[in-house]
Amino acid sequence: MRGRVACARVPDLVQLGLLGLFLASFLAGSVLPFPSEGVLAALVGQGQSVGLVVGVATAGNVLGAITLYGMGWGIERGLLRGRLQRRLADDSAGLERARKRIEHWGAWGLLLAWVPIVGDAFVLGAGLVRVRFWLFLVLVTLGKCGRYLLVAWTTALAVG
């Protein structure tokens, strides 16, 4: 499965329509770097409703972030098992950076959860330090929705 996900291309996901956008956005919101903005822009360019596209992309991306938050929460409580726990434990310096980033910026840093690489550290750190889930959900949703609105709006302007 991993090879298939890594080899997925934006045109393939565009052909799947809103489902492809949801999948791309979910992957982009988790630990995998994925070009969800390209799928979103292509669908807007094809005439899909901006509101619908932004809603689907935001939902997928936030659900992906919830998985990353859950990983941080699970690491802190020793709930993860097997290969994943060992791999994350091997990167104790990375986990400490994620923890420090969220402790420095506070929960407001979650508004930057959409930023590549940096955002993942905020989301993982939020799980590690136990940011209240409702606050996590509100801030991450606002940031990610704002980013998708900007991409959809600029695409709609560009295609006329």
**How far apart are the C-alpha atoms of 88 and 75, rounded to whole Å?**
8
Which amino acid, 94?
G
Predicted local distance difference test score (pLDDT) of residue 81: 57
Q: Where are the domains of the chain?
A: 2-159
Secondary-structure breakdown of the chain: helix, strand, coil percentages, each rounded to the nearest 5: 80, 0, 20
pLDDT one digit per residue (tens) for the chain, 160 residues: 344 444 456 678 899 999 999 999 999 998 787 889 999 999 999 999 999 999 999 999 999 999 999 988 887 666 665 555 566 556 667 667 777 777 877 888 899 888 877 888 889 889 988 899 999 999 999 999 999 999 999 999 999 7
**How far apart are the C-alpha atoms of 106 and 132, rounded to whole Å?**
12
Predicted local distance difference test score (pLDDT) of residue 96: 75
**How far apart are the C-alpha atoms of 114 and 147, rounded to whole Å?**
7
Predicted local distance difference test score (pLDDT) of residue 93: 72
